[in-house]
Copies of this chain bind each other. A is one copy, B any other.
Amino acid sequence: MVGLSRYSEYFAWLQPGAFPERQPLRLEASPGVSQTAREECVAGMERLFGKGVWAADAPVTVALARDAALPAEGYALCFDAQARRLSVRGNGNGLLYGVFALLRALATGVPLAQVAAQSAPAVPRRVIDHWDRPDGSIERGYAGRSIFFRNGALAYDAARIRDYARLLASVGVNVLNVNNVNVDAAGARLLGPEALPDLRRLADLLRPYGIRLALSVRFDSPVLLGELPTADPLDPRVAGWWRERTERVYAAVPDLDGYLIKADSEFQSGPAALGRTQADGANLLARALAPHGGIVYWRCFVYNCEQDWRDASVDRPMAAYDEFMPLDGLFEPNVILQVKNGPSDFQVREPNSPLLGAMERTPQALEVQITQEYTGQQIDLYNLAVQWEEVFAFPAGEGEALRGLMGGKIRAMAGVANVGDDENWTGHTLAQLNLYAFGRMAWDPGLTAQAVTGEWVRQTFGADPALAGPLTGLLLESRAVYEKYSTPLGLGWMVNVSHHYGPSPEGYEYTRWGTYHRANRDAVGVDRTGAGTGFARQYGAALAARFEDPATCPEELLLFFHRLPYGHRLQNGKTLLQYLYDAHFEGAAEAEGFVGRWDALRPLLPEAAYASVRARLLRQAGNAREWRDVVNTYFYRLTGVADEKGRKIYA
């Protein structure tokens, strides 16, 4: 198994190892094999087996070859026992992915002679979206400052970017959007002539790893950059402006993937403000990008963020569907509508967006958050693979799971990065798992959280079952634990406003953000059935019917879809209130239990990882206690009903 003496949090899941079954190898590379694929194979084997692994006269050969017959970006691994030859074939970047698949197999304990796999990505675009700002700060970043930007411009340690590209390529990410989707003035200037040499250099750095650059743009750039009096998408000057700018960008970065844009959303400019449709806006950019093969990722996170809380008829989760469904068929073919997994906003628990897969003639991207904005901010442990598995399993369209649409109606998967310049990339060392899982599951949405978590644990900390088993188990539970103390029964938005960490039961109740639970002394939740806001009707009839009946609505979404009295009986006979109390007591106890469970693994863990993770687990335990007491007290004050089990609830 992997010897961990050279463990560093920086290496993430590409740790140096020392396998006992080490055997000499010789490398063979066919013509056309990229230098990167070759180098990564050499370095990767040396990482696992030591520098002496390569020998010209070794009896076993690792043979790299391009194979255009494989699916796009696909690879095949096969060990020919007679020839004593491990063949790694790939189509295009698929060869590099094949090398990493081989290294992954070996690192997770597959003997060389048993390696055999064939795979291709489910979706052609697997995108990591950085919300990094030119000033070096990161919106919703919990792992330090940007690794890309400093002092208003692209400025980075090239070696670190190469290491990052390696990590991304090792899990199949092939697009990197470098700047925050809330584009500030400095971000807008990335389209300007002075930034082009920097963009070119960055793209050159990423390209060997099969990663294409993308940019977030602002809809009002023609005005903001001072060149036009309007950003109206129907104004020919505006179309010309985007065409010219885009030509210049592609002259610097010929393989730019395209533009990402958050328009008419949370104070970002957009076509609606000018009396035009979202399609008008998206097509404007699409036409500028089309000659270069570029894509517009047009975000569907459009809603009224200045809602009056008094108006219960407006229901924010309905906004994207209402806005975009009528436009189906009106978009240029190189527009991809980017839809957040949930209709609300990256919550711990929400149904899938009804817009996902609902459009017949418009390709979509599924957007998830790898960074833990609402999910513990890389202080609390939260395994997003568990959540994503559920997202993929959620029904879409005619009863099909969303998973089945990946590569069909859904052409891309985008994840908001959780990476900063912290030594361990992700603040919480165990949050590296989320970055890993994003790439793996975007490539193969059929992977279970169990499989992905196990893979990551074994690569990162070694395959000793005494460690890998318990740690995988702990990680798999982490989402449920966090859910218990933050979002039981789908009751969300009890979080502190703005920064979104820790409890504030009424924090959002009277704000303009459209996010309310409207708890009173008798009941809690929003009625989203046909008798209420009607949100449930945005799903297909069968699914809507299931959600609309509290008896058939999945329990974990009960208070997302329903407003219910505290005495409402759940399927196990427990009252709703008691469930809320129990969930908070259990969640806090389980979070506290993580510390002891982690401590028990200490002998098997590298000390650096043990210590840094332990410090976070202690903070999590405190946070969970706070959630428990604040939310329980809140409901106790509202209801006057004590805990059935007599546990302490503060007055």
Please indicate the chain B residues that have their CB under 8 angstroms from the CB of A503 in the complex.
510
**Contact assessment for B521 and A651 in the assembled complex, using a CB-CB cutoff below 8 Å:** no
**Contact assessment for B518 and A651 in the assembled complex, using a CB-CB cutoff below 8 Å:** yes
Q: A310-B650, A650-B310 are in contact. Are A637 and B519 (CB under 8 A)?
A: yes
Q: Which residue of B lies closest to A504 (CB)?
A: B510
CB distance from A513 to the nearest CB of B (A): 14
**Contact assessment for A520 and B630 in the assembled complex, using a CB-CB cutoff below 8 Å:** no
Q: Using an 8 Å CB-CB cutoff, how does the interface string of A613-651 with B read, 1 for contact, 0 for none?
A: 000000000000010011001101111100000000011
Q: A503-B510, A506-B505 are in contact. Are A521 and B310 (CB under 8 A)?
A: no
The CA of A504 and the CA of B150, in the complex, are separated in Å by 37
Q: Which of A503, A506, A510, A651 counts the most B-chain CB atoms under 10 A from its CB? A: A510
**Contact assessment for A520 and B310 in the assembled complex, using a CB-CB cutoff below 8 Å:** no
How many copies of the polypeptide does the oligomer hold? 2
Please indicate the chain B residues that have their CB under 8 angstroms from the CB of A520 in the complex.
636-638, 640, 651
Q: Which residue of B lies closest to A522 (CB)?
A: B640
Q: Which of A519, A521, A630, A633 counts the most B-chain CB atoms under 10 A from its CB? A: A521
**Contact assessment for A651 and B505 in the assembled complex, using a CB-CB cutoff below 8 Å:** no
Q: Using an 8 Å CB-CB cutoff, how does the interface string of A307-341 with B read, 1 for contact, 0 for none?
A: 00110100000000000000000000000000000
CB distance from A519 to the nearest CB of B (A): 7
Please indicate the chain B residues that have their CB under 8 angstroms from the CB of A522 in the complex.
640
CB distance from A310 to the nearest CB of B (A): 5
CB distance from A543 to the nearest CB of B (A): 28
Q: Which residue of B lies closest to A639 (CB)?
A: B521
**Contact assessment for A638 and B638 in the assembled complex, using a CB-CB cutoff below 8 Å:** yes
CB distance from A265 to the nearest CB of B (A): 24
Q: Using an 8 Å CB-CB cutoff, how does the interface string of A496-527 with B read, 1 for contact, 0 for none?
A: 00000001111000100000001111100000
The CA of A312 and the CA of B651, in the complex, are separated in Å by 9
Q: A310-B650, A312-B651 are in contact. Are A638 and B521 (CB under 8 A)?
A: yes
Q: A503-B510, A506-B506 are in contact. Are A629 and B521 (CB under 8 A)?
A: no
CB distance from A525 to the nearest CB of B (A): 13
**Contact assessment for A521 and B312 in the assembled complex, using a CB-CB cutoff below 8 Å:** no
Please indicate the chain B residues that have their CB under 8 angstroms from the CB of A309 in the complex.
650
The CA of A504 and the CA of B639, in the complex, are separated in Å by 21
Contact of A510 among B310, B312, B630, B636 (CB under 8 A): B630
Please indicate the chain B residues that have their CB under 8 angstroms from the CB of A638 in the complex.
520-521, 637-638
Please indicate the chain B residues that have their CB under 8 angstroms from the CB of A637 in the complex.
518-521, 638
- Name A residues whose Cβ lies closer than 8 Å to a Cβ of B: 309-310, 312, 503-506, 510, 518-522, 626, 629-630, 633-634, 636-640, 650-651
Beyond contacts A309-B650, A503-B510, A506-B634: 12 other A-B pairs, Cβ-Cβ < 8 A, are A505-B510, A506-B506, A510-B633, A518-B637, A519-B637, A520-B636, A520-B637, A520-B638, A520-B640, A521-B637, A521-B638, A521-B639
